[in-house]
Amino acid sequence: MLKALSSSCMRGRLSTVPSTFPSHLRHATDSNSPLRRVLSSLRGSRSRNPNLCQRLFFCSDSTDGSEPVEAVAEAKKAEVEGEEAESKSSSAIVPTVFRPEDYLTVVALPLPHRPLFPGFYMPIYVKDPKLLAALVESRKRQAPYAGAFLLKDEPGTDPRIISGSDADKNVHDLKGKELFNRLHEVGTLAQITSIQGDQVILIGHRRLRITELVSEDPLTVKVDHLKDKPYDKDDDVIKATSFEVISTVRDVLKTSSLWRDHVQTYTQHMGDFNYSRLADFGAAISGANKLLCQQVLEELDVYKRLKLTLELVKKELEISKIQESIAKAIEEKISGEQRRYLLNEQLKAIKKELGLETDDKSALSAKFRERIEPNKEKIPPHVLQVIEEELTKLQLLEASSSEFNVTRNYLDWLTALPYGNYSDENFDVIQAQKILDEDHYGLDDVKERILEFIAVGKLRGTSQGKIICLSGPPGVGKTSIGRSIARALNRKFYRFSVGGLSDVAEIKGHRRTYIGAMPGKMVQCLKNVGTANPLVLIDEIDKLGRGHAGDPASAMLELLDPEQNANFLDHYLDVPIDLSKVLFVCTANVVEMIPNPLLDRMEVIAIAGYISDEKMHIARDYLEKATREACGIKSEQVEVTDAALLALIENYCREAGVRNLQKHIEKIYRKIALQLVRKGELNKPPVSEVGVKGHDGRAESVSETDETAVGAKIEAEPGGGSGTGMASETSTETEAENKDLPVDKQQTPLNLPSEPKVNVETAEKLESEVSKTVDKVLVDTPNLSDFVGKPVFHAERIYDQTPVGVVMGLAWTAMGGSTLYIETTQVEQGEGKGALHLTGQLGDVMKESAQIAHTVARAILSEKVPDNPFFANSKLHLHVPAGATPKDGPSAGCTMITSLLSLAMKKSVRKDLAMTGEVTLTGRILPIGGVKEKTIAARRSDVKTLIFPSANRRDFDELAINVKDGLEVHFVDDYSQIFDLAFGGDQHGEK
């Protein structure tokens, strides 16, 4: 294998050539040659860039081939003696028996990028196996010559945007005539110096022109050898042009070291130097377009060739100037940044020597040690040991390493926790009761439990953490009371919601190996509040999700277990932390959705909701006051009657909570604010418009518009009322209102004359009357719909007088509770047609209750009326109204039995009776849930007589007095007691 030729080895080999030239060939290289002296002056510095690999190399054997043959042979002999390991077949120059002009038929080699100029080296890659074999064979026959021709661009393509790889691919795909048609006619006779694999190194000798095609595979052509046109060497124009080329090259050499290497190689190894060689040299080493270089190659007129070369080197000079400016700008930018960096480093070193500043790692370590120093005695020993180990590791790590950032963040979290830092708790039960009553009305169970917690803490002298779960429908104040509890206990408050949470890492933290790892919510809580005994409100715990990242409900077991959370282990911190002093308050809408192991760890306090009386108190004492302040309305500017509030609660906001009630009150006050602004009540009329003297000393009268705005009373209806008798009703309404108001707030109607006297005394009197008069916007039942629209709810009582086969039952809903009717009718009657058909979107449990009720009703009927075959011969249809609402549950069993018996006996039940209870096949009544909600629903429907199972007596007794007041409640164990109460028998049920 032949060694690859580099610029240095080529220069080494060819450096021996001039010394072996005969004297009759060396005359052109004499130092007396003026052109040689000019070129020698261009050599300048002999420094070479070792990283540059030239694509073209000058060869001294570039004459016509007749004279330098002996010199070339001697050079070859010297090369063989200097490199014994190289074979004779790899010599760069062929033996003397062949002359280049003897080759009239040559193998055509396509050049994709640039033409080959005489006197220069060019390595090419030959991918065609047949062509490569032909070249190897020609070297073996000691005829190492071929024709190198530039490849034309493919028709229809832009040569400026085609990539080199695409060009090479196109060359390799061309064969035969297609390749012949793509070659330029003028090329170069090239000597094959070496072949290494598919790399062939060529040396250009002389110009050729293709005359005809000889063979296609490999492509062989006949050529004519071209010679330069005769020219006068002493012509002044040619000399001036050549000197301008050399001068331009000198200017380029000031910025381009690559050109300098080319010139040094050329001047050291040139042979018979002349003007045509200068033109070829300038074109060969320029970075011009291949078509421009081909024009230089095809030009046989030496003067024209010099002119073309001069254009190329001038363009190269401009490019060199642009290159120099770009390099200078980049160098200035880099040097500026380096200078700034160096000055900063020197400043750091100076400050460090003076003790004014420490390095980053020392500063971080000092900051972390400063954090733990005040509470060092309270920090557990195992945590303190981990902190010391991490601080030691931090000093050994490089600041640029990723492990450094991980350790720094870990220490930041580890040292920021409040170890042993507790807030001073409030053990004053009276003060706590006052704070709780300030924020919430009712919720006695929750308040009582908090006061018990405070009392135990006072007796013990310290308090422990607890886990309390507040369950109830939306809007009853579960979340908002958490903040009040924290204020009553004087604890820091932290809330986070776990609704839809599906990642265990939110609770337990991430491993530190993950990018962007963070500790769990509890560690974040302790860092934010800064104390170890906060009140943590975990919202929506019944809506925990479960995903691919684990089961958060199971992760909460450790957090909410009083026996385990004293050593809670977070994945990020990886050290136990004490959560035993934390008071956890959880909220849930449906307790049944909480997993049993988690529910077992919590103390559940049910918040059933508010009745109408409680909602009235909440609206008056809390919601209305807060809304009035939020809207910027004064209390004397508006009055909402109790009747309007009650209508709002009963017809618009019937749900268990008060969130919707708050929205409606806000809506009322927003409309009132708009009315006040429109009527000008918020902006008092200026004094100058009421009746003061103008600048000219004359009194100005009150305009009609201003008089109306001052004297007119805002009507009760926002939209203007009914429009009849409005003027006459103003004084009457004012008098009626004054009867119910205190003396200091009674209204005095203004009766302004149509033409007031124009004087200052009248204006002052008018102003005093205006200031004393208070005009209010009255919101009452008749105009309530103008503020909040038509009523949403209507009376649940469908029947004033209960018909046969219809009985009212009681149900629990997410809204708090409601009444529902059970309706039964006979479809058809016939012998043996007894059946029961159910409708009303009933659930499976309720369908089973209906079947049980049917069976029990048949047994009771046969007992009470033995000769009545109604159920055996009647097809019945049982329906529960509101068919769009899904219904399920066992508590409607006794109601269904009563409905069936009412139809069978053709006897209606009492109109003010409602009942609930699960029934068995033997007629026993089992307990039910939601006693408070069902009682509230019964009061809302004006039901006075209720029937509950005896087992629910304890639940009913715990209800507030205002809930139980006015109700006749019977507690039963067997359906026979219900039968007597419903159908007018002896009412001996237990009361």
The residues annotated as belonging to the active site are: 891, 934
- Which of 505, 497, 660 shows the shortest CA–CA distance to 588? 497
Query: What does the alpha-carbon distance between residue 481 and residue 445 come to, in Å, rounded to a whole number?
Result: 12
Backbone angles phi, psi at 453, to 5 degrees: -60, -40
Q: Is the distance from CB of 425 to CB of 531 less than 8 angstroms?
A: no
Query: What does the alpha-carbon distance between residue 123 and residue 130 come to, in Å, rounded to a whole number?
Result: 19
Beta bridge partners of 838: 878
- Which of 828, 978, 829, 800 shows the shortest CA–CA distance to 899? 978
Beta bridge partners of 974: 924
219: CB partners within 8 A, 6+ apart: 107, 108, 131, 175, 176, 179, 180, 213
Q: Where do runs of H (alpha helix) occur along 355-466?
A: 360-372, 381-396, 402-416, 429-439, 444-460
Query: What does the alpha-carbon distance between residue 342 and residue 433 come to, in Å, rounded to a whole number?
Result: 67
Supply 564's token pair: 């385990």
- Which of 781, 633, 811, 645 shows the shortest CA–CA distance to 716? 781
3-state helix, strand, coil in the chain (%, to 5): 45, 15, 40
DSSP 59-106: -S--S-SSSTHHHHHHHHHHHHHH-TTS-GGG-SS--TT--GGG--EE
242, 245, 250, 252: CA torsion to nearest 10: -170
Residue with tokens 């549950």: 889
Query: What does the alpha-carbon distance between residue 933 and residue 817 come to, in Å, rounded to a whole number?
Result: 5
- Give the CA distances from residue 735 to residues 475, 721, 731, 740, in Å, rounded to whole numbers and listed in that order: 40, 19, 6, 9
Backbone angles phi, psi at 337, to 5 degrees: -65, -40
Query: What does the alpha-carbon distance between residue 659 and residue 981 come to, in Å, rounded to a whole number?
Result: 39
Query: What does the alpha-carbon distance between residue 989 and residue 973 come to, in Å, rounded to a whole number?
Result: 9
- Which of 476, 471, 433 shows the shortest CA–CA distance to 455? 433
Supply 771's token pair: 């200031």
- Which of 639, 725, 637, 649 shows the shortest CA–CA distance to 680? 637
Q: Is the distance from CB of 435 to CB of 487 less than 8 angstroms?
A: yes
- How many H-runs (helices) and E-runs (strands) does the chain carry? 38, 24
Length of the chain: 991
CB atoms within 10 A of CB 70: 13
Q: Is the distance from CB of 961 to CB of 932 less than 8 angstroms?
A: no
Q: Is the distance from CB of 105 to CB of 223 less than 8 angstroms?
A: yes
Give the 3-state secondary structure of 777-789. EEECCCCHHHHHC
Query: What does the alpha-carbon distance between residue 383 and residue 391 come to, in Å, rounded to a whole number?
Result: 12
Q: In what order do the strands lie in the sheet with 535-539?
A: 493-497, 535-539, 583-588, 467-471, 603-606
- Give the CA distances from residue 347 to residues 126, 343, 366, 868, in Å, rounded to whole numbers and listed in that order: 61, 6, 21, 111
- Which of 550, 570, 572, 568 shows the shortest CA–CA distance to 560? 568
Supply 275's token pair: 């003007």
DSSP 311-335: HHHHHHHHHHHHHHHHHHHHHHHHH
- Which of 629, 664, 634 shows the shortest CA–CA distance to 646? 664
